[in-house]
Amino acid sequence: MARLGSSPLAISLGDPAGIGPEVIAKCWDNRGRFELPPFVAIGDPRSVEKVWDGPIAIITDPQHAADVFDTGLPLLALPSAEDVLPGHPSVAGAHCSLDALELAVGLARSSSAAAVVTGPVAKEQLYAIGFSHPGQTEFVAERCGVASANVAMMLAGPSLKTVTVTTHIALSQVPQQLTSGLIESRGRATLRGLQRNFGIEQPKLAVAALNPHAGEGGSLGREEIEVIGPAIAALTAEGWHVTGPHPADTLFHEVARARYDAALCMYHDQALVPLKALHFDEGVNITLGLPIVRTAPDHGTAFDIAGQDKADPRAMAAAIRMAAECAEHRARNR
């Protein structure tokens, strides 16, 4: 188990109607088996009570989380304006999930929490209340004062780490938004993040192509020649170990995966499909490039199974463990 200082991890429950409250409660239930350090959950206590009958320890100071961790799930209460119905998202629930996220980030920024783990939110619900960021990644970056181009959304599992250059945009927008500058800055955030969070001193980055067969010499698209290639050359000139652009269809099999520490992908599904195919049960989303550690499970709100005791907590447990390990690693190598 990672050894943290006196501060617990702060975990936002996510959308109160999603599976966040259930998987977090199940993590507390299985804290010994999953080898989890003390954490404090943040959100509406009713969202947990509706799906779990274990003990909740309401606290008002995160520093008390460790004292009560053996007897109940430590919870900083942020009640939603309306009652919670698992599987039925609401405007009030979206506001509640955003408040919990904001508080969790604030606690980590002020060192009252060792790291942040975020429960799943529904982007559609957040967009409906005026949330102007593509996702939690960009929101956390802004709250930390980091430009969103300088963070990287990494999905990490035991045998694969992927990063996506463009994040939550329509597929039709990807070619316009892909620039050499953006690929470079995501690449840099990834390489530094591998060093800082995972202790990989000389990280190897494999860059995926956008087009089939890496563009087939320009006849199936010119992004590899005009956009991706120059970004790889710039990163290589800085001394980083970067290869590509690699045809994406042959980048994720076992032998190929052994050649790199992370794959830099051009769009969301290029990065997330291989990761979830291999490691859905234990995939972790980690934001690289922040002054704090932020992780999340790779899955979403799963409203279709919320409140039915079907949610698998292993990805949340992996996110908690990774947050603790990265925080400890960063503290040791300050």
| Closest residue to ligand LD2JLWAY, based on beta-carbon distance | 135
What tokens were used for 282?
A: 């234990």
Per CB under 6 A, 309 contacts ligand NAI: no
Q: How far is the CB of 271 from ligand LD2JLWAY (least distance, A)?
A: 9
Q: 334: which residues sit within 8 A by CB, 6+ positions away? A: none
Of these partners, ligand NAI, ligand LD2JLWAY, none, which one is at the site of residue 272 (CB under 5 to 8 Å by kind)? Answer: ligand LD2JLWAY
CA–CA gap between residue 42 and residue 54 (Å, rounded): 16
Q: Which of 300, 329, 330, 331 binds ligand NAI (CB under 6 A)?
A: 300
Q: How far is the CB of 272 from ligand NAI (least distance, A)?
A: 9
Q: Which of 232, 311, 317, 324 binds ligand NAI (CB under 6 A)?
A: 311
213 is in an annotated binding site: yes
Per CB under 6 A, 301 contacts ligand LD2JLWAY: no
Q: How far is the CB of 247 from ligand NAI (least distance, A)?
A: 27
Candidate ranges 1-9, 55-63, 254-262, 301-309; the one touching ligand NAI (CB under 6 A): 301-309
Window 132 to 151, contacts with ligand LD2JLWAY (CB under 6 A):
135-137
What tokens were used for 311?
A: 């949610």
Q: Which of 57, 68, 208, 296 binds ligand LD2JLWAY (CB under 6 A)?
A: 296
What tokens were used for 297?
A: 């499970």
167 is in an annotated binding site: no
Of these partners, ligand NAI, ligand LD2JLWAY, none, which one is at the site of residue 302 (CB under 5 to 8 Å by kind)? Answer: ligand NAI
Compute CA distances 210 → 67, 152, 269, whole Å. Answer: 51, 18, 12
Q: Which of 47, 270, 285, 295 binds ligand NAI (CB under 6 A)?
A: 285
What tokens were used for 330?
A: 């960063």
Q: How far is the CB of 55 from ligand LD2JLWAY (least distance, A)?
A: 30
Window 65 to 124, contacts with ligand NAI (CB under 6 A):
120-124
Q: Are strands 284-288 and 262-265 parallel, antiparallel or unpaired?
A: unpaired
Q: How far is the CB of 296 from ligand LD2JLWAY (least distance, A)?
A: 5
Residue 297: φ, ψ to 5°: -70, 160
CB atoms near residue 291 (< 10 Å): 10
Binding site for ligand LD2JLWAY (CB under 6 A): 135-137, 272, 285, 296
Binding site for ligand NAI (CB under 6 A): 19, 23, 120-124, 136, 285, 296, 299-302, 304-305, 310-312, 315
- The binding site for substrate comprises 137, 276, 285, 294
